[in-house]
Structures are given as C-alpha cells and as structure tokens.
C-alpha cells in the first residue's frame, strides 16, 4: 500500500480510502466486517463514513456496524484513520441537523457512542451551512479538539470560497481549520478543477474524491450495463448521456490492457492534490480489484487522450472561461 499525508497534516493515510456507505443497506454486517478486515490486510487505513449512512433517520446504521467491528478488538481501532461527517438530518426537532454548535456537539457524542470509540480522526462538515456563522462552528470544533474527541476538521461539498472563508477565520482564532475537502470528482465531473482544487493546493487541504467511478459509469458500464448499480435508472441516465465518451474510454482502456475502473482511479491518483479516492466496495472481490489502480502509471499521452475524451472546464479559474 502507498501512503501520503492528509493535506498539510502529519497524519499518513492510504492512497485509497474505504467508503462505507454500502454497509447496512447493501452489504450486510457480516460481509461488511469481512470487507473492513480485508482492507486492513491490504494496508488500507483510511475509512470514511457519515452519521446519516444507513438511511434510517437518526439511527446511524453504518456507524453502528463500524462500532461493532471495532469492538471485536485486535487493534482494529488503532489501525484506522476514522473519518465521519456531521450536518445531515438526524431527527425531527429543529436542532438535529446542520452546523449549530448545539448540533455539532450532540452529533459528535452520538457518533462516538455508535462507533464505540473515544475520538474521531477527521470530523467533516458534510455540506456548507449558510445559516451558521463560522465563529460558532469553529468554537464548537475547537472545544471538541481540546477535549480530544476530534483530531482534525474537514469539509465536504464546499465551494472554493467557502474553504477560503473558513480557513481565514480559523487563522484569526489561531486554529488549524480545514485540513481536507471531500468533493465529487471523476473523469465525467471535473468542475472542481476551476476553484476547489486550486484552493486546496493553496491552503494545504487534502482532496478526497467521492464517486470516483461516476456511480459505476466509469467501471466498464457499457459491457455490464444490466448488472448491479449500473442497471439503476440514475446510472442508466449517466451512461446514455455519456455513451460516445464511454465508448471511446472503454476502447482506450482496452488498448492499455487495463480495466476501466482501475484507469479511472489511476487518473485521480495522478493528481498531486488528491489524497485518496473513496472506493465503495460491496464485496471482497471488488475491494481486491481496486488495488490494481495503485500500480498504474499513466503516461502524458494517455492523460492527454483522457482529456480529449472527457474535457475538463479548461483549467483553473479565470483561465477556464476568460483569457
């Protein structure tokens, strides 16, 4: 396994991050345990979850599964860099969502209890909260860090200027601020190249791409269009909207002798700002197969051909839309 620092921190994480969103709704508890154990065997030490995963309001099903896995012992918790998220709706009362100091404190305590741990390595804000001032958010996070319940703060689904605003206010408070951003990023979705990636580089944030395979569209979808998630209506729409591009992409992967999913992950890993794409295996076989991406080095010619198939926005702003 390859490791890198999470942004400007001293903490090292694996170049692939194990996403757990399937644990519970798609992958049963026993199989989820097996996937997490196999991840450790492969040296994957970076696990990502969220308090809303499991999709039963307020229950934190996925966090509970992770907690019962940790409870088996064997050094599982100490081997894992654990990332979870706060923001989503965890109840029906007014202060059971978003980023008020009250909800951050309550949500953190609930996540710690569900996951049977006394600290969270990376506590991520799942979305920007335009109704809560940063002074309040950072005060809550500072208290959690001081109490040893959270080590680092991260963001998810933030615009570039949100990251700037957050970290400038954190700097005024002599607080470390955001150390990572988790964004939608793959060959078919490259908008963050305009402003989010440049600001991550400037402020030393690690970038954690979610949906690196575009919900499976980049995983050999044309050959497996009727299998698994690829048969879902939403994924079919992505496939049809990108069919000519996917045809060219899968042909290029065929020339390379590599699986489309591995090339898609390797493309993300070739970006120096990317810390670790989030892989969401439902089975041991899918997890094992993801490791091949770490061995692929994409030449400049291949990168250029990928750019021609899936053009980005034209570089960072303002050059993407101006001279």
How far apart are the C-alpha atoms of 154 and 171, rounded to whole Å?
A: 15
Which residue out of 3, 53, 87, 203 is catalytically annotated? Answer: 53
Please report the pLDDT score of residue 224 as a whole number: 67
Say yes or no to pLDDT of 9 above 70. Answer: yes
Least confident of 49-63, 213-227, 240-254: 213-227
Lowest mean pLDDT among 51-60, 103-112, 155-164, 223-232: 223-232
At 107 the pLDDT is 98
- Mean of pLDDT over the chain: 95
| 229, pLDDT greater than 60 | no
- pLDDT on residue 175: 98
- Token duo for residue 314: 């034209």
Residue 72 confidence (pLDDT):
97
Q: What is the pLDDT of residues 75-104, one digit of tens each?
A: 999 999 999 999 999 999 999 999 999 999
Model confidence at 58: pLDDT above 80 = yes
Whether the Cβ atoms of residue 138 and residue 99 lie closer than 8 Å to each other: no
For 59-75, b where at least 16 C-beta lie within 10 A, e where not — what string?
A: bbbbbbbbbebbeeeee
pTM of the model: 0.94
Over 80: is that where the pLDDT of 62 sits? Answer: yes
Banded pLDDT at 238 (limits 50, 70, 90):
confident
Residue 225: pLDDT over 60: no
Specify whether the backbone of 41 is left (phi greater than 0), alpha (psi in -120 to 50) or beta. Answer: alpha
- The helix (H) or strand (E) run that includes residue 41 is helix 29-41
Report the C-alpha gap between 79 and 77 in whole angstroms.
5
For the stretch 151-189, pLDDT in tens is 999 999 999 999 999 999 999 999 999 999 999 999 999
Structure confidence by residue, pLDDT tens digits, 26-56: 999 999 999 999 999 999 999 999 999 999 9
Q: What percent of the chain lies above the pLDDT cut of 70?
A: 97
195 within 8 A of 202, measured Cβ to Cβ? no
Please give the CATH number for the structural domain made up of 3-309.
Answer: 3.20.20.100
What's the pLDDT band for 231 if we cut at 50, 70, 90? low
Average pLDDT over residues 227-241: 72
Q: Identify the pLDDT of residue 236.
A: 82
Confidence of residue 242 (pLDDT cuts 50, 70, 90): confident
Residue 89 near residue 98 (C-beta atoms within 8 A): no
Q: What is the pLDDT of residue 237?
A: 84
The closest of 48, 23, 26 to 228, measured between CA atoms, is: 26
Q: How far apart are CA 53 and CA 20, in angstroms?
A: 8
Q: Is the pLDDT of residue 232 over 70?
A: no
Residue 293: pLDDT over 60: yes
How many secondary structure helices (H) and strands (E) does the chain include? 12, 10
**260-283 per-position pLDDT tens digit:** 999 999 999 999 999 999 999 999
First to last CA, the chain: 42
The predicted pLDDT at position 223 comes to 76
119 is catalytic: no
Q: What is the pLDDT of residue 120?
A: 98
Place of tokens 């060959």: 187
| pLDDT value at residue 241 | 86
């Amino acid at each position: 396994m390859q490791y890198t620092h999470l942004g400007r921190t001293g903490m090292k994480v694996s170049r692939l991050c194990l996403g757990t969103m399937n644990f519970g709704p798609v992958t049963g508890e026993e199989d989820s345990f097996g996937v997490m154990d196999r991840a450790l065997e492969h040296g994957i030490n970076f696990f990502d979850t969220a308090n809303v995963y499991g999709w039963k309001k307020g229950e934190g099903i996925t966090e509970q599964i992770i907690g019962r896995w940790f409870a088996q012992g064997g050094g599982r918790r100490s081997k894992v860099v654990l990332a979870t998220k706060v923001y989503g709706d965890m109840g029906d009362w007014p202060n059971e969502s978003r980023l008020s100091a009250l909800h951050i404190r309550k949500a953190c305590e609930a996540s710690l209890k569900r996951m049977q741990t006394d600290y969270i390595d990376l506590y991520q804000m799942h979305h920007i909260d335009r109704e809560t001032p940063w002074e309040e958010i950072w005060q809550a996070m500072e208290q959690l860090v001081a109490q040893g319940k959270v080590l680092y703060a991260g963001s998810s689904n933030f615009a570039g200027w949100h990251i700037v605003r957050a970290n400038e206010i954190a700097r005024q408070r002599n607080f470390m601020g955001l150390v990572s951003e988790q964004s939608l990023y793959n060959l078919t979705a490259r908008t963050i190249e305009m402003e989010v990636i440049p600001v991550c580089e400037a402020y030393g944030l690690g970038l954690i791409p979610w949906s690196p395979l575009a919900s499976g569209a980049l995983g050999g979808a044309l050959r497996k269009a009727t299998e698994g998630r690829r048969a879902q209506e939403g994924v079919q729409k992505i496939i049809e909207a990108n069919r000519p591009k996917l045809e060219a992409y899968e042909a290029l992967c065929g020339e390379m002798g590599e699986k489309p999913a591995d090339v898609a992950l390797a493309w993300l890993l070739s970006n120096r700002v990317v810390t670790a794409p989030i892989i969401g295996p439902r089975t041991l076989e899918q997890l094992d197969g993801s490791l091949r991406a770490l061995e692929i080095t994409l030449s400049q010619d291949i990168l250029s051909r990928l750019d021609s198939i899936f053009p980005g926005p034209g570089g960072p702003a303002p050059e993407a839309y101006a001279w």
